[in-house]
Structure 1
Amino acid sequence: MKRIMALCLMAFMAFGGLAIAADDTVRIGVFLPLTGQNAFGGQLELEGVQMAHKEAPTVLGKKVELFVVDNKSDKVEAGLATQRLIEKDKVQAIIGTYGSSLAMAGGENSEKAGIPQVGTSCTNPLVTQGKKYIFRVCFIDPLQGAGAATYAYKTLGLKKAAMLVDVASDYAVGLSNFFKKSFTKMGGQVVSTLNYSSGDQDFTAQLTKIIAEKPDVLFIPSYFAEGAIIMKQARELGATFKIMGGDAMDNPEITKIGGKAVEGFVQTTFPYDPSMKEMNPTAKK
């Protein structure tokens, strides 16, 4: 962990955005959704940041100080969060954030100020596209969209797909487009694409229309809370098609919300490599 922290710090220095403060302290800003729709993911990422800081409170002989701001799962708040970190807290680098829309909103300030910003789970390629100071350490949606489409078409033999997409989410819109591009390229057919907006709770109208199209699979690039509700309502309406989603569904809460409707659900998520044994002690913590 200390070696990783040191490498990250040297990378920041290489871009010239990390000038060590006069008191020999490295000031790292962290902006995450600690409340609101994406709070579960934000809290997990904060735990990881805090664990890394506990194990490596100093790097290259410099004290590392964290400044944490809640972006409240809101794009406007994400922009205000990075603005505060840059202007008030005088950070020299920023970590964040869970949620591609939030990362893009906050990243505008970081890019303008020349402050390196590193995201851990913002998978939309637009987060870093055309940016000099914005980075990520995760896979991107073209990869998982293609992966989901390939698994559906080639492994499961599903030829007709429908999509239910949150049009207020850059993540959902992007991932659905990448799924559709790969699925149709292989010969699959997308028979229906319907929309909703973040926070919606009733999907019966869209699902009724989708069921009428008789797809083999419904792709929902949703966050876990809405995704679980969609699955539950789909099964209550008698839907028997396979349901698939992306990494934002990777949350144990989906079983509490969706109940038995979650059985058989397939999603893409971060891969685990058993050969990476040196990571096991950290993962257990």
Structure 2
Amino acid sequence: MKRWLAGFLAVSVVALTACGGAAPTGASGSGSGSDTIKIGWIGPLSGEAKTYGVSAKMGVDLALEEADFMAGGKRVELVVGDDRGDSTEAVNIATRMLTQDGVSAIVGSVTSDPTIAISALAESYKVPMITGTATAMGVTMNDDGTRKPFVFRACFINPFQGTAAARFAVSELGVKRAAVLYDRGSAYSIGLAESFRTTFESGGGTVVAWQSYSGDDTDFSAIMTNVVAQQPDVLYLPDYYARVSLIAKAAKDKGLDVPMIGGDGWDSPDLDFATLAGGYFTAHYSDQDTREAVQNFAQKFQAKYGEKPDSFAALGYDAMSLLLDALGRAGSTDGEAIRAALQSTKDFPAVGGSLSFDEFGNPIKSAVLLQVQADGTYKYITNVD
């Protein structure tokens, strides 16, 4: 219970309810003549992806607390919106933040599809936005391959983690026949699946089952019957924890006992650890990483919340820290000034590593590979550059 309460607690916060609550009368707005900077935070504090949002928000709150809620000599006020992992709700919240609450920047969202949806608004209003955790290519890039100049992220991108997972499967697990199951309506799931397939096949493997499903599906027994018939020796499951747990259970029920691999969407305390024990996934962070920045963050997080941080907490912390640093260097709440400061970030000491942005607003950083343990923990395996 403590974890959920901590996820909802905030200091100096104006909360936006799911139906869109207005800021209290008399709240200070951002601007060059104001002593307050408003920053919007958008993410799922309820719904299927709520564990991601709660963790990310905890990391954001810790970063703000360490900065004493100050940036560039101004007081920071956080405006919070629960998008429930829904793109339409994310757009509604972002619109209110930009048109009524006067935010100077947005941190969020947490999952890829809502983040892509609100990125268009950030571009339209020329308000900088940084997500800690949304990995799909479309977050910072338009369909024609051009850059969204006002959008940034603190995490690696889908092609990188899909490639890393495939290389691990081929070189370390020695598997040759893969089954890939993905959500055909999710940019996150599709991006990971495609990059895994490309790299796995180029490494000499064969994708014997390429199976899509709907995001509303809960019964995977028929799909798994088809998959088992293809005799794969590895399953790649690039989806979020709730659906991955259901798919893994269906695989075990059909007697398919092969390694399972996934992406950072597995990183949740609500993952079915017993069923997925022994499986591997690519992640952004491990508290077993011995680097000083990681251990300092883990200790501070543990002291504040009484639990170990996950990847989403670390990336929420990094995203807010990067924005606060840029606000300080920009010396202004002007969107272009903040954008330029973010883009010029060089060797920032983030929990995820020394971070600089490339020309697409993506960080240059490594990933970690973790193994699921039956006791509800993850075992650090290796770093992947």
TM-score in terms of structure 2 length: 0.66
Task: Give, in whole Å, the separation in 2 of the partners of 1:252 and 1:156.
Answer: 26
Task: Give, in whole Å, the separation in 2 of the partners of 1:54 and 1:241.
Answer: 45
* Partner residue, 2:43: 32
Task: Give, in whole Å, the separation in 2 of the partners of 1:155 and 1:20.
Answer: 54
Counterpart mapping for 1:1-285 below 5 A: 20-55=31-66, 56-129=68-141, 130-255=147-272, 260-272=274-286, 273-276=289-292, 277-284=295-302, 285=304
Task: Give, in whole Å, the separation in 2 of the partners of 1:33 and 1:150.
Answer: 32
Give CA deviations for 1:132-186 in whole Å, capped at 9, x if unaligned: 1000011111111111001101100001101110112110001101111111111
Paired letter, 1:266: Y
Which consecutive residues of structure 1, in runs of 5 or more, have no partner in the other structure? 1-18
Which consecutive residues of structure 2, in runs of 5 or more, have no partner in the other structure? 1-29, 142-146, 305-385
Aligned-partner SS, 1:211: helix
How far did 1:282 drift? 2.5
Paired letter, 1:264: G
Give CA deviations for 1:96-118 in whole Å, capped at 9, x if unaligned: 01111110001111111100000
How far did 1:21 drift? 4.5
Higher relative contact order (CA 8 A, sep 6+): 2
Task: Give, in whole Å, the separation in 2 of the partners of 1:238 and 1:83.
Answer: 49
Paired letter, 1:54: E
Task: Give, in whole Å, the separation in 2 of the partners of 1:72 and 1:263.
Answer: 28
Aligned-partner SS, 1:193: strand
2:42–2:83 Cα contact (<8 Å) kept: yes
How far did 1:252 drift? 2.3
Task: Give, in whole Å, the separation in 1 of the partners of 2:77 and 2:228.
Answer: 53
Paired letter, 1:68: V
The alignment of Structure 1 onto Structure 2 pairs a total of residues equal to: 265
How far did 1:80 drift? 1.1
Paired letter, 1:120: G
Paired letter, 2:102: K
Task: Give, in whole Å, the separation in 2 of the partners of 1:281 and 1:34.
Answer: 24
Aligned-partner SS, 1:88: helix
Paired letter, 2:224: L
Give CA deviations for 1:4-42 in whole Å, capped at 9, x if unaligned: xxxxxxxxxxxxxxx735321111011111121211101
1:82–1:107 Cα contact (<8 Å) kept: no
Aligned-partner SS, 2:256: coil
Task: Give, in whole Å, the separation in 2 of the partners of 1:98 and 1:149.
Answer: 24
1:199–1:226 Cα contact (<8 Å) kept: no
Task: Give, in whole Å, the separation in 1 of the partners of 2:209 and 2:235.
Answer: 9
Identity across matched positions, percent: 35
Task: Give, in whole Å, the separation in 2 of the partners of 1:171 and 1:282.
Answer: 31
Task: Give, in whole Å, the separation in 1 of the partners of 2:96 and 2:84.
Answer: 14
The structure-2 alpha-carbon separation of the partners of 1:85 and 1:141, relative to structure 1 and needing over 3 Å to count, comes to same
TM-score in terms of structure 1 length: 0.89
Aligned-partner SS, 1:202: coil
Paired letter, 1:85: M
